[in-house]
Structure 1
Amino acid sequence: MSLRNLFGTLRRSREKRQDNDETFKEARKEILNNLREVHRSVKLLPLTSLTNEHAARYNIRYHDLTLRTDGGSPATAQTYFKPWTLDKLEQFPLNLDDPDTKESVQVNEACFADLDKERSRESTGELDPESDDSGLLLSSVFLWEFTSHARRTTGDRATLEDLSGWFGRSFNNTIIKERYMDMAMFTNPGSDPLASPPLSFDDAWYPNLPEGQELPHINLIVTHEGVCDNNILRSELLVLVGVMRTRLGRVELQDHVVAPVLLTSCTNNLKARILIAYFDGKELVVLKSPLHDFYTPGARETNIPLFLLYMCSQAVGDTKAPLRPMVKKEHATDYLEAGMLARDTCSVCLCLSTSHNSLAQMWNCLRIHETFCS
């Protein structure tokens, strides 16, 4: 290859990168605008919760999430959180030789025992809604299990938070902006019977990585001061979208277009569910588990470890690649010039583009050129 052709190839390669960068920026801007519109529509939603049919009207798509112990993920959606297996969790049993851990476990068991007695006294078999704060107890137990209880390891004292690679962070403008928190938190069921139950933000984590390698994934837990059914709450959607908009608005994450969120959502009546969500550029995709019961000792023995598997999930997936094709508007002359460049500099394209009867043929030639020569 002559120097003239070499420099020409380098120039075109640079121009192609610049063109791709511009296309990415345009696509990212459109994604953020679409996400903002979903946020706005959910904020104005006159419903406490959304059925699958309602959600579709607001560019929200649900998938059922079956919580598993084998580390598997559903094939119906992208995977951004890979849960631990039960076998892995069992490699790190509670270290009851640690005095703080032992005391905490005993306190939690006593609290659950008191709730069991109180429930047995109620004719309905459920706690009095006026005094029920069991959602806060459940979220506290998850937090103790994840962030405080020592686990048996071969090294220094470690918690599941340490072992899973998540780093706790108080709620601030790097996790969710204050005004987005307010949208989700400040509801008034007394004056608005359609409002979601009051919500509290309990804790949040992001992947613990070296500086400059930040990922957009967020793992958090919230509590609803009320009960709910299997439909997703408006306030849960506001949490998910608020976190996504905050994360994608960070300068440090400007190369990313997806901000996945794993939400552990606790409610009164000792129930909780896992929500995993991401925005695909057009729709908010939400994987939603059924509400799981933690009322009986047997249910807690099964479901607390099950939820911990998801709280320990590994952040995975390509969050820099748009999930829908990036389309850059071009003019016919752009295709013509591109085709001529390819024909002048590439023997493969020269053979294939000696005659172009249409712009489509010329564009096909350019694609072949990029495949073989770029």
Structure 2
Amino acid sequence: MPLFDGFRDLVTDMSNGIATLVRKLDPPDHERIADWGDQHHLYARQDIITGLMTIFDNIYYTPDPYVSSETARDLDISITHLKLVETGSYAPEHFAHRPAFFKPMPLGTLELLSIDRFDARTSELMKSLDEYWDEAENGGKCGGFTQARAVSDMFSCLFSMAERVPVGSDEEFTLQQWSGWVRRWPNRTVQDRKYTCPTGPKDSQNKCPIPWDVRYGDNWVRDDSHPHRTVILEHLVPPYEGLLRSEVLTIIGLMRERLSAQTLMDHKVAPIQIISCMNDYQARILQADFRHGRLTIYKSMLWSFAEQEERLENTSVFLLYFAAQPVGDTLTY
């Protein structure tokens, strides 16, 4: 019995020692909770990306340049009207159509930022734009992407390149600098980019989908605290009121890219704004987010920029949305 008791005491001491060592090596409760939170966060992001890719694959292999209302319904894509307001400020009766993640610049602010036509570079830029549109109105340069590119270049120049002088100041700013967006150099190729490829063909008959017929124009991002992104698209197709396949694929591709950025790992929502330029000198604005397993696309009506009067009236409205402030909760889901 004494030998047995001694052996039992030894085992007990060893067990206590191991338990003490485990307690010392085991992280505190708050670290375990934080680690669980990180894992939960990663799983949530993976679920989001998986949901996006399910929609992407289905749209990618659609043998049509357009996304029908039936296809959108089947994929749980919500299409909502985006009302563009000339003042940049939404009245209470328009709150249902107010952007959720992009707050347009007030018109009053834009009016205080007049273009400096005495700046030599800006003056030459505006002269070139005027000459281009004079030629376009006389029937020149109208093939391929040219008409969409004309509207795209006009937006980019007025937002990113034209110097403006704020009232009461001697300093010059572009509208891009004033609003805080950062311009990225365009890479006009859309297909075959890392985040615009499907997970794999559905079957042997779906290995060669139709071309996108779209190119990137300029695009802008904010600092690392905002996953928002604004991109110009130039389309080869005629103006179309419904959703274009290329618009949906680009939106999802950009969301995947933003959600994969190491500096944006805390964010679960990546709002995207698309300025969609088509032939016949028409354009519209789309804004999109993916929350609760649903892709929501806010789509404006088509606006024309074909005539000088239309450009003078409509361009300022689009610039208000170019200069939009990124808003909304992108951290929680």
TM-score category of the 2 structures, normalised to the smaller one: 0.7 to 0.9
* C-alpha distance in 2 between matches for 1:276 and 1:106: 32
CA RMSD of aligned residues (A): 2.7
More deviation, 66-75/257-266 = 66-75
Q: With structure 1 as the length reference, what TM-score do the two structures score?
A: 0.71
| CA drift at 1:155 | 4.7
The reply on whether 1:138 has 2:151 as its aligned counterpart is: yes
SS at match of 2:64: coil
The reply on whether 1:199 has 2:214 as its aligned counterpart is: yes
Tell me the alpha carbon deviations over residues 42-90 of structure 1, each in whole angstroms, 9 at most, x when there is no partner.
1112221123333111221100011012333843677111111111111
When residues 26 and 132 of structure 1 are mapped into structure 2, their CA distance, relative to the original with a 3 A threshold, is closer
Tell me the alpha carbon deviations over residues 249-271 of structure 1, each in whole angstroms, 9 at most, x when there is no partner.
12221111111111111111000
Tell me the alpha carbon deviations over residues 172-202 of structure 1, each in whole angstroms, 9 at most, x when there is no partner.
7xx998234578xxxxxxxxxx946621111
Task: Give the corresponding residue for 1:225.
Answer: 236
SS at match of 2:285: strand
| CA drift at 1:31 | 1.3
5 Å-filtered alignment, 1:95-114, equals 95-114=116-135
The reply on whether 1:82 has 2:103 as its aligned counterpart is: yes
C-alpha contact (below 8 Å) 1:256/1:321 kept by paired residues: yes
C-alpha contact (below 8 Å) 1:65/1:74 kept by paired residues: no
* C-alpha distance in 2 between matches for 1:156 and 1:51: 49
5 Å-filtered alignment, 1:48-67, equals 48-67=65-84
Task: Give the corresponding residue for 1:45.
Answer: 62
Task: Give the corresponding residue for 1:164.
Answer: 179
The reply on whether 1:251 has 2:251 as its aligned counterpart is: no
C-alpha contact (below 8 Å) 2:179/2:325 kept by paired residues: yes
* C-alpha distance in 1 between matches for 2:195 and 2:43: 25
When residues 277 and 41 of structure 1 are mapped into structure 2, their CA distance, relative to the original with a 3 A threshold, is same
When residues 55 and 131 of structure 1 are mapped into structure 2, their CA distance, relative to the original with a 3 A threshold, is closer
Identity among equivalent pairs (%): 28
Task: Give the corresponding residue for 2:296.
Answer: 285
* C-alpha distance in 2 between matches for 1:148 and 1:294: 20
What amino acid does structure 2 have at the position aligned with 1:59?
D
Q: With structure 2 as the length reference, what TM-score do the two structures score?
A: 0.79
* C-alpha distance in 1 between matches for 2:145 and 2:215: 15
What amino acid does structure 1 have at the position aligned with 2:297?
V
Tell me the alpha carbon deviations over residues 116-154 of structure 1, each in whole angstroms, 9 at most, x when there is no partner.
2228xxxxxxx96x5672111110111100110010122
Task: Give the corresponding residue for 2:160.
Answer: 147
What amino acid does structure 1 have at the position aligned with 2:316?
P
5+ residue gaps, structure 1: 1-10, 120-126, 184-193, 323-374
* C-alpha distance in 2 between matches for 1:206 and 1:177: 22
Of the three residues 253, 260, 267, the one matched with 2:271 is 260
Of the three residues 118, 121, 129, the one matched with 2:139 is 118
| CA drift at 1:233 | 0.6
5+ residue gaps, structure 2: 1-27, 199-208
C-alpha contact (below 8 Å) 2:147/2:279 kept by paired residues: yes
* C-alpha distance in 2 between matches for 1:178 and 1:249: 14
SS at match of 1:204: strand
| CA drift at 1:103 | 1.6
When residues 131 and 24 of structure 1 are mapped into structure 2, their CA distance, relative to the original with a 3 A threshold, is closer
| CA drift at 1:100 | 1.4
| CA drift at 1:226 | 2.9
Tell me the alpha carbon deviations over residues 84-112 of structure 1, each in whole angstroms, 9 at most, x when there is no partner.
11111111011101111112112212221
Task: Give the corresponding residue for 2:25.
Answer: none
More deviation, 232-241/29-38 = 29-38
When residues 259 and 118 of structure 1 are mapped into structure 2, their CA distance, relative to the original with a 3 A threshold, is same
